[in-house]
Structure 1
Amino acid sequence: MRLRIRMTALLCAVLLPFLNGCAPASQKSQIAPSWLALESVEKERAVRTPAPRENGTPYRVLMVAISFDATVSVADCYLRGLKQTGWILENPLEDGQAVQYDGLFDGCELGPYLEVCGEKIYDIAADGQQAVSQAVQAYVDAGEADIIVTLGTEAAQLGKLHARDRVPVLAFPLADAVGSGIVKGEQYSGIPNVWAYTDPERYQRQLVLYHDLIPFKKLGLIYYDEGLGGRTGYREAAAQIGIELVERRIDPPPVSDGVDDETALASYWAGLEAACDELLEQEGIDAFMLTTQLIQPQQRAQAFIQRFHEAGVPVFIQTGEPLVEAGGLIMQESLVDEEVGQLVADVTVRVLCGEQPGDIMQPYTCTPYIVVNQQAARALNIQLPFELLISCEKIY
């Protein structure tokens, strides 16, 4: 832990000259990483000896994800965390060969302490929202789930809905746990059976970095769900650094339930492209924030981002390294899969050992993770500072 903090402090020291001037001193203190919160979480961790339920049978973990592609990395890190602490013996994602969640745990020797309901991670994108909803409800009604672990905002909303107050729910990774209605507060959930990963200053830090890189004046943002877009954090940051945030809301994308939704998807893209045209042609934005899950399917990301490049507008990425590879200029992510996966594995064990999710602190600030696209920068005639480049995890 001390090593991680020292490394993070060094990174911040490298970026400090780069970040100077992006906000008044009185405001910088409000958006600095919460090292005390990070230390507090670490101190609360303790080794808990693996054990089955009182009747000698394994605890039953019901896992739900928004999609395989969006969550497989953090799911792998979560299972690694459980394996490292001895609660499971095998992690089926560890070899990197899995291509879907269905049947993931078939033939997997997890050991005597935990079993996964249905021997799979229920996948909303692959299985359909209705089918996953019915499965979760059936497990809860039958009393066959001891804890529900959800990956992604929509999965968390679904899990919380069906668990009500009967089953503990853990939710991660999330764009905005409070804004999406999963929890009531950042520090503690305010809901006895729910815990969610939070980082209250995540988007403020991100937008400050982006603005210091390019001093834009009018930032465009499109969303279909306020909780997914992280709008609260961006609004606060925009007010702090003195820029205009121009927003457009569109209808949500179709939910795949095994029916032909090509017409609905075409309608979604028509609305999305119309919103882009408004921002570029009518509002005259000089930067755009691409929020999580806006591009569906993600194969269309490159063409979407190119619309902005043709107008000379840089595209900043909220989260998702593939979007940087597709042409986004930069992603500063405060959500490191390894750290969050280990954190939630620890929280899982604490809950199974008797703690109430609502009594466990939620905030955690991860080590900054920065990815840039040098090709996009050249296309936009942007010179990326050397101080930024040496702090990047990856450069495209």
Structure 2
Amino acid sequence: MINFYYEKILGKNAMGKISILSLMSFFLIFSACQKQKDPGILKEASVLIEKSTVNEQDEVKPFLKNDGKKWRVLVIQSGEYYSYTDTFKSILSAMINAGWINEITLPSDKNTLMKDILNVINTSSEYLEFNSADLFFDFNWEDTKAKSPDFIKKIQSKNIDLIIGLGTLAGQVLSSFHDQDFQTPVLIDSVSDPIEAGMIASNEDSGKNYLTVRCDPGAYLRQIKLFYDVVRFKKLGIIYTNTPTGKSYAALKDVEATALEKKFEVVANTNAIEDPPEKEIPLAEAQYLKALEELCPKVDALYLTIQAGLTENNIKNVMTIINKYKIPTFAMEGSMFVKKGVLFGISDNEMKSTGVYNLKKIVQIFKGKKPRSLNQIFEDFPYIAINLKAAELIDYDIPIDIIGSSDEIYTTID
């Protein structure tokens, strides 16, 4: 399966004797050895990690409210989207590890609805209360629901200790209140560019006492630069809607800034549908495929950004078109797309550190800290996922050092 480029290094005769697993092991071990050659350093590092782990456990140790009751957490999402459930599950996983939630198995299906996750954990904590009835609201991609009696009743409840907002639409609504009128702490995540979306004053300051947002101002710059450094494309294609929200989803400012620095051309297709209601997702998927057919002949690489038509159900059709033109791809979100045939993407392991980061903020809020006072900047080294089968299909030779430093390596396409 990976003979197509290892023959160049090892020779054809050697390839029959070396398994995929052996090659992976070699490159992973080689990479690790290059980074740490001194056993003393390794021993010292392990002690530091052990101490750090103990300190972190104390930092996020669970506790009840002063009146002995559970903390009530309201979850609000822009609509059903796998990235929101992934982000929420990363927080829940951190809570489970810290003892806030009992040991349970969270649903792993990407199509699992948020309310189903809430129902699973509803009775699984002695410290927290979640449920899909009065502690959950879904905008279903419709901002007009911000005026609905149900939404207003839930956010005005005096019996809510924290609101977790997921997605740009949810974040825009929740960040629009004034300090004098709203005091319930709000933590927002799963937003591509919270400044561009008008949620916060800056990466360092939310501008509202009740509000904190996770910001990684360099996240997409790192992705695009990594993609360029590996592929060295001349024309990068992206699909987005020509609106402030669509440009935010596509991290367009970062794409254009990198293009200016690296001297490549950005070729865009804005013939797409933005945040449609659930029943119109098939229309968005069809429109995305049409945009791809128009774009692919004009580019030599594709950055697959957040878009309503780029779904798990549609990715097989998407990759059929892209592979026809033998174009390298990088998925902005998650390794789900890499498993299904995208060449490069960000590994799901990045979510683990995101969950711990958010849990630390939640605990600080429960201890009385104003959300605005908490550090919003979360910069994490990118964990890379690659698909070797995808590379084979487009006759692309992945550099060995990229394989050695990758966090997730797939040899098949789901």
TM interval, shorter chain, is 0.7 to 0.9
Letter in 2 for 1:148: I
Counterparts of 1:334 and 1:204, CA distance in 2 = 18
> Which range moves more in the overlay, 193-202 or 242-251?
242-251
1:331 paired with 2:331, answer no
The alpha-carbon distance between structure 1 residues 334 and 286, as it changes in their structure 2 partners (threshold 3 A), is same
Choose the corresponding residue for 1:349, options 363, 387, 410. Answer: 363
Give the structure 2 partner of residue 143 of structure 1: 158
1:302 paired with 2:319, answer no
For 1:114-133, what per-residue CA distance to the aligned partner results, in whole angstroms no more than 9, with x for missing partners? Answer: 32254687474879877798
Q: Tell me if the contact between 1:228 and 1:292 (Cα under 8 Å) persists in the aligned partners.
A: yes
Give the structure 1 partner of residue 185 of structure 2: 168
1:47 paired with 2:47, answer no
Aligned length: 351
* Higher-RCO chain (CA-CA 8 Å, sequence separation at least 6): 1
Q: Tell me if the contact between 1:152 and 1:174 (Cα under 8 Å) persists in the aligned partners.
A: yes
Q: Tell me if the contact between 2:83 and 2:190 (Cα under 8 Å) persists in the aligned partners.
A: no
Letter in 2 for 1:317: A
Q: TM-score, normalised by structure 1?
A: 0.76
Counterparts of 2:225 and 2:72, CA distance in 1 = 43
For 1:282-322, what per-residue CA distance to the aligned partner results, in whole angstroms no more than 9, with x for missing partners? Answer: xx211111112443542111211221221232222111212
Give the structure 2 partner of residue 157 of structure 1: 172
Counterparts of 1:183 and 1:380, CA distance in 2 = 42
Letter in 2 for 1:229: A
Choose the corresponding residue for 2:291, options 267, 275, 278. Answer: 275
Counterparts of 2:311 and 2:70, CA distance in 1 = 38
Letter in 1 for 2:80: S
Give the structure 2 partner of residue 31 of structure 1: none
Counterparts of 2:32 and 2:259, CA distance in 1 = 24
Give the structure 1 partner of residue 389 of structure 2: 375
Alignment of 1:1-396 (within 5 A): 47=59, 50-65=62-77, 66-67=79-80, 69-86=82-99, 88-90=100-102, 92-94=104-106, 99-102=112-115, 104-105=118-119, 108-111=123-126, 113-116=127-130, 118=132, 122=136, 124=138, 134=148, 135-161=150-176, 165-224=182-241, 225-249=246-270, 250-256=272-278, 261-262=279-280, 265-266=282-283, 268-281=284-297, 284-332=298-346, 336-392=350-406, 393-396=408-411
Counterparts of 1:93 and 1:127, CA distance in 2 = 29
The alpha-carbon distance between structure 1 residues 231 and 44, as it changes in their structure 2 partners (threshold 3 A), is farther
Q: Tell me if the contact between 1:68 and 1:123 (Cα under 8 Å) persists in the aligned partners.
A: no
Q: Tell me if the contact between 2:236 and 2:265 (Cα under 8 Å) persists in the aligned partners.
A: yes
Counterparts of 1:68 and 1:222, CA distance in 2 = 18
The alpha-carbon distance between structure 1 residues 174 and 253, as it changes in their structure 2 partners (threshold 3 A), is closer
Q: Give 1:243 shift.
A: 1.0
Provide structure 2 residue ranges, at least 5 long, that are not aligned to the other structure: 1-27, 36-54
Letter in 2 for 1:377: A
Counterparts of 2:167 and 2:349, CA distance in 1 = 13
User: How much identity, in percent, do the aligned residues show?
Assistant: 21
For 1:13-60, what per-residue CA distance to the aligned partner results, in whole angstroms no more than 9, with x for missing partners? Answer: 77xxxxxxxxxxxxxxxxxxxxxxxxxxxx999726644334443222
Q: Give 1:232 shift.
A: 1.8
Q: Give 1:207 shift.
A: 1.2
For the aligned residue pairs, the C-alpha RMSD in angstroms reads 3.5
Counterparts of 1:217 and 1:47, CA distance in 2 = 48
Q: Give 1:108 shift.
A: 0.9
The alpha-carbon distance between structure 1 residues 144 and 127, as it changes in their structure 2 partners (threshold 3 A), is farther
Q: Give 1:331 shift.
A: 0.9
Q: Give 1:253 shift.
A: 4.1
Q: Tell me if the contact between 1:71 and 1:152 (Cα under 8 Å) persists in the aligned partners.
A: yes
Q: Tell me if the contact between 2:331 and 2:338 (Cα under 8 Å) persists in the aligned partners.
A: yes
Q: Give 1:343 shift.
A: 0.7
Q: TM-score, normalised by structure 2?
A: 0.73
For 1:348-367, what per-residue CA distance to the aligned partner results, in whole angstroms no more than 9, with x for missing partners? Answer: 11112111111111112224
Counterparts of 1:394 and 1:115, CA distance in 2 = 38
For 1:171-216, what per-residue CA distance to the aligned partner results, in whole angstroms no more than 9, with x for missing partners? Answer: 1233222222232312232332221111111111111111121111
Provide structure 1 residue ranges, at least 5 long, that are not aligned to the other structure: 1-6, 15-42
Q: Tell me if the contact between 1:318 and 1:333 (Cα under 8 Å) persists in the aligned partners.
A: no
Letter in 2 for 1:79: L
